[in-house]
Amino acid sequence: MATTSSSASFSIIFKERIQNMSENLDDKEIMEYAKNIIKEIKEENKKAKKEATENTKKKVAKKTKKDVEVDEDGNEKPKKLNKYQQFLKDNQKRIKEENPELTNTERFSKLAEEWNEYKKTIKEDEETNNVTETTDTEAEVLNDTEEKEEIVEEKKEKKNKKKH
């Protein structure tokens, strides 16, 4: 029969405390003494578990919030969108207008496919140095979806020309 760590520690504590028992006790007093030891150990274990749980809760509660940027009026500034989020924001409306029959899941799948195409073209351009290093900042600055699409198409054409 396998013992758990708590039962092993329980038995060790019990053995230590039972050794302190007086030798002048009769059978009934021995049983009472053993019962009291067991009761004390259980109460101590309960108390230790409760403290451990409280300590864990305190640690979770102590997690600090990240510093939030605040504007001049004390209002929280919105977080800056990453490139993927900006791409989704810029292209969601267009995809919905072009394909009104698509569900939200299908629409996001299509956006993800377009993002992957867009991302590949950016990477390829960076690797071949055909486009200046400002490509990323230009892509962030461009808010007009049509201009982004034109850039993607131009990059695809350059890629195809290189292959042939």
Note the pLDDT tens digit of each residue in 84-129. Answer: 888 888 999 998 999 899 899 999 999 999 999 988 888 887 777 6
Same domain, 43 and 88: no
Task: Find the helix packing angle between 27-61 and 5-18, rounded to 10°.
Answer: 140
Considering the domain architecture, whether residues 156 and 101 belong to the same structural domain is answered as yes
What's the chain's average pLDDT? 79
pLDDT at 53: 86
**Single pTM value for the model:** 0.37
How many distinct structural domains can be found in the chain?
A: 2
Q: From the CB of residue 30, how many other CB atoms can be counted at a distance below 10 Å?
A: 13
Same domain, 100 and 31: no
| Distance, CA of 67 to CA of 93 (rounded, Å) | 33
Q: Is residue 66, in this structure, part of any structural domain at all?
A: no
Question: Do 51 and 102 lie in a common domain?
Answer: no
Going by pLDDT thresholds of 50, 70 and 90, the confidence category of residue 3 is very low
Are residue 49 and residue 102 in the same domain, yes or no? no
Domain range holding 109? 83-163
